[in-house]
Structure 1
Amino acid sequence: MAENLQDLQQMLNDLADSSMRIGLRMNLDKTKVMFNEHVLPEPIAVCGAVLGIVPKYVYLGQTLQLGRNNFESEVNGRVRLGWAAFGKLRQVFTSSIPQCLKTKVFNQCVLPVMTLTARLVHKLKVAQRAMERAMLGVSLRDRIKNEVIRQRTKVIDIAHRISKLKWQWAGHISRRTDNRWGKRVLEWRPHLGKRSVGRPQARWSDDLRKMAGRSWMRTAENRNRWRAIGEAYVQQWTNMG
């Protein structure tokens, strides 16, 4: 990450030179450049090869994108991956084995971890309910309430799962004292620029701050206090949608 093209070019050159000195080489076919709205895109070259410019890319299984629709594309991708995983195991989910075994497989293979907004959580819940109906061999035309289906499948509600994981991860990062990037990024505040005009896009920590206060990272240092607040945090997302 760099604030201008000159710094970015220098960083890439240094990385390429350091790699070659120890016998490694950058994979230039997989190395891409992404610009935000404040920079005019210009060609960036490494070892004579011009790097491709992309509006988004997938890193460690997660879609990275700048702009207002970054979470939307990530959720859509996660839903597609969820259905792909479900399709590979469809014979297991629709077989006559006990429902408790199907539930264990479903909870391990299908539930993703996502950033939370009300709209995106609703979209994930819709996908999960569709998978549950497919597991039981029922359709919307059967007019069976979601509560009844959940009692039969006993799967973990996706909003409960992802909100609990997010709360635990936020507390874990906040308690770190080794100056790793995770905590430094959460505490970082840009010194230049303003948020775009219009309704501000939700930040990753907005829901944490709403539940635990502005000093939520300091609150997280107390494990018992953080765990107690987390129960209410998880419940509010579980009840949504």
Structure 2
Amino acid sequence: MEKEVNFRIQCGWNNWRKVSGVICDKRVPVRLKGKVHKAVVRPALIYSLEVAPLKKSEEKKMNAAEMNMLRWMVGVTRRDRIRNEYIRGAVKEVEPSKRIQESRLRCSESPVSSLFLTFDRQFSVSSLQSPVLRVRFQSPVIYW
């Protein structure tokens, strides 16, 4: 399974390189970069892992690879010491492991999964420069 995860990460980087002209351009707004990332890079990163059992170490690898992409996209380095939540909030992005879990729940037709989806809350972080993490609740996500 580790080979599949490594292959998916490599596919994500390949797609990231294809759109790096848009993603790395400082004149493009961060939200638009996030939309391009969601449309091009994330599907390549997550494809076919919805049904695969992943270890915690493999989930961490995927999350780390995507955070490297997002940091580069926003123009932030590790040295700037900005938390991942702020970067994800600026781009309006959720961890790949959460997306995989959500798609697993959506795929199963059991009443238990629909119960979990009705109580699922999405968080959105207000801004990148904010010194305090401000979170506002949005309505529950329901997939039919």
TM score, norm. by length of structure 1: 0.43
- Give, in angstroms, the shift of residue 229 of structure 1: 2.6
1: CA distance, partners of 2:69 / 2:61: 13
1: CA distance, partners of 2:16 / 2:10: 10
1: CA distance, partners of 2:19 / 2:92: 18
Whether the 8 Å CA contact 2:70–2:87 is kept in 1: the answer is yes
CA RMSD of aligned residues (A): 2.2
Partner of 2:39: 108
Partner of 1:152: 90
Match of 2:113 among 219, 226, 232: 226
Whether the 8 Å CA contact 1:125–1:158 is kept in 2: the answer is yes
2: CA distance, partners of 1:107 / 1:75: 18
Greater Rg by CA: 1
1: CA distance, partners of 2:93 / 2:107: 22
Partner of 1:81: 11
2: CA distance, partners of 1:228 / 1:169: 14
SS in 1 for 2:108: helix
2: CA distance, partners of 1:166 / 1:155: 18
Counterparts in 2 of 1:234 and 1:125: CA distance versus 1, 3 Å: farther
Whether the 8 Å CA contact 1:107–1:156 is kept in 2: the answer is no
Whether the 8 Å CA contact 1:133–1:149 is kept in 2: the answer is yes
Q: How many equivalent pairs are there?
A: 114
Partner of 2:106: 168
Higher relative contact order (CA 8 A, sep 6+): 2
2: CA distance, partners of 1:232 / 1:123: 28
Query: Which residues of structure 1 form unaligned runs of 5+?
Result: 1-70, 172-219, 236-241
- Give, in angstroms, the shift of residue 89 of structure 1: 0.6
- Give, in angstroms, the shift of residue 126 of structure 1: 0.3
Whether the 8 Å CA contact 1:164–1:234 is kept in 2: the answer is no
Matched letter for residue 226 of structure 1:
S
2: CA distance, partners of 1:127 / 1:136: 15
Deviations 1:131-162 (A, max 9, x none): 00010112112221112212222223212211
Counterparts in 2 of 1:230 and 1:165: CA distance versus 1, 3 Å: same
- Give, in angstroms, the shift of residue 84 of structure 1: 0.5
Query: Which residues of structure 2 form unaligned runs of 5+?
Result: 123-144
Matched letter for residue 83 of structure 1:
W
SS in 2 for 1:138: coil
**Large movers: runs of 4+ above 4 Å:** 230-235
How high is the sequence identity, in percent, across the aligned residues?
A: 31
Matched letter for residue 104 of structure 2:
K
